[in-house]
A and B are shown apart, each in its own frame.
Chain A
Amino acid sequence: MPFVKHNVHSPATEEGHREEALASPIAALCSLDAETRWSAARALGGRAKAVPALADALSKEQVPHVQEAIITALMRIGDEASVMVLLPYLRSQDASQRSAVIEALQALPGAVLPFMVSLLGDPDSDVRILATELTRSLPDDDSTRLLCELLQREQHSNVCAAAVDVLAEVGTREALPTLRSCAERFAGTPFLPFAVSVAIARISGTES
């Protein structure tokens, strides 16, 4: 049979830069080689003291998969400091960076909770839209309350649409009056009245 077995350790083709990265990962975050920076970021996951170095690395990183690894490392630390590093990227001009950060934040509902009200009230409508995504992982009473508060004052139809989208999945009957008045406010616009009618159907169709 052509099958061979040997030690699980990989053959000697192992790249030297991985060892360099593991020996002093914080320094290796600044390496000119992307794979070294990747290994360094991976080695720092969960190390709270590395947050400033990871923040600095993220601000400079251009290579997408290395960005992902730095964001994952921050997610694994998951404390208030790392959330505060990630939040400004919700304003990034780069759509993929915004979505990478939102995914990491979605995995940290407890750490993100103190920031929810401020995010849902952010002057930037794109940030408010992304913030509605973060309410999905909260208990349904909390997300319903936060999203209804948003809907009651929100002028921007795309932000309302994002809130209605989440309510269709997690909303409780408490949301029904707010949803109805939202549809009235935006009557005659293309999408929102439809979205609200679906959300109302989803919520009403659920026995409480």
Chain B
Amino acid sequence: MAGLEDEGIGPTHLTQEEVRRVCEFLYRRTGMVFADSRRYYIDRRVAERIAVTQSGSFRSYFAILRSDANHEIEHLVNAFTVNETYFNREEHQLRCMTSDLLGNIVRVKDRTEAIRIWSIPCSTGEEPYSIAMWLMEHWSEVDSYNIEIVASDIDTRALQVGAEGIYSERALMRLSKDVIGRYFEALPGSRYQIHPGLIDSVQFTHANLIDSLDMARYRSFDIIFCRNVLIYFDDSSRRIAAENLYDCLRPGGYICLGHSESMSRISSLFRVCSFSEAIIYQRPEADHGAK
């Protein structure tokens, strides 16, 4: 854009080598791949970030990116991704839960033991409520077990929104009219509120993934959804959070990451489980001695 250049804010075009440097760095750090066909798009997003950070040059910006000052990696990646939260955001993981994970879980469980599922970070609650509705709609054994859904976040305002359960029409865009009718009440102003019975079914708590003492209050989960947060932690925090999550899982319990995240960038503690719908990670079962 000629405008930026005129104001002397920074380079508006990256060289091909600069784009490659950014792509190689992002691939190493996050696992994300950008095809050559998206070159122009990368160029634009990085140029915008150079302007926003007032770096003045690619070299200065790249130093900021590599050191992840002010969470620049997250800012850059967010510039490439659509960040809306909405219900049933990653349906393939929900399908994997009902078609594969739960079967394995109940095989080793007593009927009296609850199935414990944790959404952390839960943000404004779309994810834990999606899990609850999906189980009601799609799991044939949903009435045979007690299911506990815990939803946690470090952001207390987000937790309040979740506990209130009121959402915009846009957040419901993936839900069928039937499902909306069953679990939501329409409010004035194109808003919808989750039915009190369902709101009451989810336990919202404040928790910090990196705080081991905090996380020690949570144990024996069968499934943890921990999406789109670990990949943005620094090296040290990623290790600590991974160990905390390991401890929060039952042996054999599963952890689901974000769509473009992989344990290859996070931790070697978990086993890779490839199901037809998704790759899910597992805390090894007890007595799993093989290296």
Q: Is any CB of A less than 8 Å from a CB of B in the complex?
A: yes
What residues of chain A have their CB less than 8 Å away from a CB belonging to chain B?
A: 1-6, 8-11, 13-14, 39, 42, 45, 63-65, 68-69, 72, 75-76, 96, 100, 103-104, 106-107, 136-137, 139-140, 168-170, 172, 201-202, 204-208
Q: Which of A4, A13, A65, A96 touches B148 (beta carbons < 8 Å)?
A: A4
Mask, B144-181, CB within 8 Å of A = 1, is 01111110000000000000000000000000000000
CA distance in complex: A207, B14 (Å): 9
B21–A202 CB distance below 8 A? yes
Known interface pairs A2-B136, A72-B243; 6 further A-B residue pairs with C-beta atoms within 8 A, sorted by A's residue number: A4-B147, A5-B148, A8-B217, A9-B219, A168-B24, A208-B59
B15–A206 CB distance below 8 A? yes
A1–B198 CB distance below 8 A? yes
The residues in B between 210 and 263 inclusive whose CB is less than 8 angstroms from any CB of A are 212, 217-220, 234-236, 239-240, 243, 246-247
The residues in B between 114 and 156 inclusive whose CB is less than 8 angstroms from any CB of A are 114, 132, 135-136, 142-143, 145-150
Q: Which of B15, B17, B235 touches A107 (beta carbons < 8 Å)?
A: B235
Q: Is B184 an interface residue (CB 8 A)?
A: no
Say how far B236's CB is from chain A's closest CB, in angstroms. 4
Chain B residue nearest to A64 in the complex (CB)? B291
19 A-B residue pairs with Cβ-Cβ distance under 8 Å, sorted by A, are: A1-B197, A3-B198, A4-B146, A5-B200, A6-B148, A10-B220, A11-B113, A11-B114, A14-B219, A14-B220, A65-B269, A68-B243, A104-B239, A107-B235, A140-B59, A202-B20, A205-B16, A205-B17, A207-B59
The answer to whether A3 and B11 touch (CB under 8 A), given A8-B205, A68-B243, A205-B17, is: no
Q: Which residues of B contact A75 (CB under 8 A)?
A: 236, 239
Mask, B35-77, CB within 8 Å of A = 1, is 0000000000000000000000111001100110000000000
Q: Which residues of B contact A103 (CB under 8 A)?
A: 235, 239
B114–A4 CB distance below 8 A? yes
Q: Which residues of B contact A204 (CB under 8 A)?
A: 17
Q: How large is the interface on B (under 10, 10 to 19, 20 to 34, 35 or more residues)?
A: 35 or more
CA distance in complex: A205, B59 (Å): 10
Q: Which of A2, A8, A10, A140 touches B63 (beta carbons < 8 Å)?
A: A140
Q: Is B78 an interface residue (CB 8 A)?
A: no
B17–A201 CB distance below 8 A? yes
What residues of chain B have their CB less than 8 Å away from a CB belonging to chain A?
A: 11, 15-18, 20-21, 24-25, 57-59, 62-63, 66-67, 113-114, 132, 135-136, 142-143, 145-150, 197-198, 200-203, 205, 212, 217-220, 234-236, 239-240, 243, 246-247, 268-269, 284, 289, 291
CA distance in complex: A13, B66 (Å): 44
The answer to whether A45 and B240 touch (CB under 8 A), given A3-B147, A3-B148, is: yes
Say how far A78's CB is from chain B's closest CB, in angstroms. 8
The answer to whether A169 and B147 touch (CB under 8 A), given A8-B203, A64-B291, is: no
B220–A72 CB distance below 8 A? no
CA distance in complex: A13, B114 (Å): 12
Q: Which residues of A contact B197 (CB under 8 A)?
A: 1
Say how far B248's CB is from chain A's closest CB, in angstroms. 9
B62–A206 CB distance below 8 A? yes
B150–A8 CB distance below 8 A? yes
A207–B11 CB distance below 8 A? yes
Q: Which of A137, A170, A207 touches B15 (beta carbons < 8 Å)?
A: A207
Q: Which of A107, A170, A201 touches B239 (beta carbons < 8 Å)?
A: A107
Q: Which of B21, B202, B203, B284 touches A169 (beta carbons < 8 Å)?
A: B21
Q: Which of A4, A63, A76, A172 touches B240 (beta carbons < 8 Å)?
A: A76
CA distance in complex: A101, B132 (Å): 41
CA distance in complex: A206, B200 (Å): 56
A169–B24 CB distance below 8 A? yes
